[in-house]
């Protein structure tokens, strides 16, 4: 897509409840609905000069796919990322007034502060994970694969989900390194 194909970002609140018209021509779909968010994320990355980052960022977001069913509405990973990229896109303008690498680093620092990044879960007997619990690591396993690891019918095992107050420094460093890793 050339830069002339993209349209200006929508500055309407992207967390506000939005009900698109159910009739023709949209049939209930809209550029601000959750199902369309991934396409807007890609559009924002392209406009920010970060086309090469699309595969890494979208594959990382895919690890959280399904978590939105357990999270608060405003913590939906696709909507949060769409909003974050919109802020960066409007901040730096078009064409960008900083290097792509500077933009990428600033975006990663903002990602570290997103609520959904701090979600953790485990399959286990107790609310607090123990040596027998199966922990979810979003850098290694998708949410759906993690859910399949458990047995909700087993009375000795339960799915426990929580949000950390802060992400431990080691987890922050792992996530930052993963997101900033260059494709070779």
- What is the phi-psi region of residue 49: left when phi exceeds 0, alpha when psi lies from -120 to 50, beta otherwise? left
Average pLDDT, the chain: 85
Does residue 13 form part of some domain? no
Dig out the tokens for 101 from the structure: 């690498």
Q: Which residues contact 162 (CB under 8 A, 6 or more apart)?
A: 119, 120, 121
**Is residue 118 in some structural domain?**
yes
The confidence score (pLDDT) of residue 33 equals 66
State the total domains in the chain.
1
- List, for residues 114-145, the tens digit of each pLDDT value: 999 999 999 999 999 999 999 999 999 999 99
Task: Please give the share of the chain, as a percent, with pLDDT higher than 90.
Answer: 64
- Is residue 41 in a domain? yes
Q: Which residues contact 93 (CB under 8 A, 6 or more apart)?
A: none
pLDDT class for 156, splitting at 50, 70, 90?
confident
Is the pLDDT assigned to residue 3 strictly greater than 50?
no
- Domain limits for position 122: 34-180
Other Cβ atoms closer than 10 A to 104: 22
Residue 117 within a domain: yes
pLDDT at 59 > cutoff 80: yes
């Amino acid at each position: 897509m050339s830069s002339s194909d993209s349209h200006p970002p929508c500055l309407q609140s992207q967390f506000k409840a939005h009900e698109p018209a159910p009739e023709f021509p949209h049939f209930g779909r809209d550029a601000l609905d959750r199902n369309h968010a991934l396409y807007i994320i890609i559009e924002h990355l392209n406009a920010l000069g970060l086309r090469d980052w699309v595969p890494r960022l979208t594959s990382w977001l895919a690890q959280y796919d399904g978590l939105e069913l357990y999270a608060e509405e405003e913590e939906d990973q696709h909507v949060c990322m769409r909003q974050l990229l919109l802020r960066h896109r409007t901040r730096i303008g078009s064409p960008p007034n900083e290097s792509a690498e500077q933009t990428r680093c600033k975006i990663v620092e903002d990602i570290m502060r997103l609520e959904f990044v701090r979600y953790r879960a485990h399959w286990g007997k107790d609310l607090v994970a123990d040596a027998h619990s199966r922990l979810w690591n979003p850098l290694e396993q998708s949410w759906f694969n993690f859910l399949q690891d458990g047995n909700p019918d087993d009375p000795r095992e339960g799915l426990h989900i929580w949000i950390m107050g802060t992400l431990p420094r080691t987890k922050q460093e792992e996530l930052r390194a993963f997101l900033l890793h260059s494709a070779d």
